[in-house]
Amino acid sequence: MDAIDVIRAKRDGHALSNEQIDWVIDAYTRGAIAEEQMSSLAMAILLNGMSRAEIGRWTAAMIASGERMDFSSLSRPTTDKHSTGGVGDKITLPLAPVVAACGAAVPQLSGRGLGHTGGTLDKLESIPGWRASLSNAEMLDVLESTGAVICAAGSGLAPADRKLYALRDVTGTVESIPLIASSIMSKKIAEGTGALVLDVKVGSGAFMKTVEDARELAETMVAIGTDHGVRTVALLTAMDRPLGRAVGNAVEVAESVEVLAGGGPEDVVELTVRLAREMLDAAGITGKDPADALRDGSAMDVWRRMVAAQGGDPDAPLPQAAETHTITAPSSGVLTRLDAFAVGVAAWRLGAGRARKEDPVSAGAGVICHARPGDKVTEGQPLLTLHADDPARFDRALESLEGGYEIGTTAPDLLPLIIDRLS
């Protein structure tokens, strides 16, 4: 085959054949297709879309580019969750132990943050000694002994996606729903989980800004999972405001531990419990209530064992930033808006995130939100506290927050935390 013919076919709005898709993914992974040719094809896909059959075959070809994990030796059924990313989204940290405490095995392969969205591995690496990189044998051992593992995906898992994702990031094709969906699902299916729950974020702090776009992405991913024999459910959830009160790395770990101890912000607890119920149902586990696992301490027990099994010290003090700066309410009233994107960019500029994959992050940097949209505030009370190791970072973070919050007289019209469910 020839790359030019494949590009022209998609450019002209035709569906790609199975043979064309298999060839182009294999050839690109081997380096037989030039970067500029694959970027041209990615742009044609963004502009003209793909059918369900094309997306399914594209996903299968990316899975076939590497290894597939096998958890059939485990004594528990496996179930996993994937979030499309947001601001303050630390849900994986309490969720995996909660679901494990109820009898499932949770093989959570996670990633690092880029831009305004946080990364689960960056958060966990603020725990002294904790390590993200595990061999497949180590991953299985932690899963069998604790019921949950949160770690980095190995290099052998869907290598075609890793290469294509890097290309999309620099060619303006990240937003293509067929490419987003196949990227996420190729890794999750190759991971080998038996069931999958998707948390598709909607709002300013998410990649999908509208409910309509988020629903299209969710429907596409559910279809891919179904076509590949993985029971898949998706929830559309709000990301027009930060999730919880902590945005950063160590600060989000601390908030997650509060949730595991039976406290924490209501929205974090609600979403954790709802996703846990979906994961258990998808895995066929009944008679266990995740809310009980938070109340009786069993989820906390799993957390401590899981952290320790990956080299971390669950009792060690978490890193703290050297400097803080507090923003106070300019007037009294109701906090009508706290924009998730603005807060996420502020945390990024404080050092909690990265602009490039190779950039380091600060464990202690981040933002604490003292008030949530709908809360009454009084003039002079703290609204946000910024944490940074270098005080020179505060000015740029404050710039990103200009216009990012508003105080009015009436309660705001917010998206519901859980907008819809698709299966």
Q: Which residues are catalytic?
A: 82, 161, 168, 183, 187
Distance separating alpha carbons of residues 352 and 378, to the nearest angstrom: 29
Distance separating alpha carbons of residues 319 and 361, to the nearest angstrom: 12
Q: Look at residues 63, 48, 59, 14 and name the one whose alpha carbon lies nearest to residue 179.
A: 59
Q: Which residues share a beta bridge with 368?
A: 246, 385
Residue 69: both structure tokens together: 């994990």
Distance separating alpha carbons of residues 108 and 119, to the nearest angstrom: 13
DSSP 105: B
Place of tokens 């924009």: 339
Contact 55, 183 (CB under 8 A): no
The string of DSSP codes covering 188-211 is HHHHT-SEEEEEEEESTTSS--SH
Beta strands in 136-202 (DSSP E): 148-152, 195-202
Place of tokens 């770990």: 253
Contact 394, 386 (CB under 8 A): yes
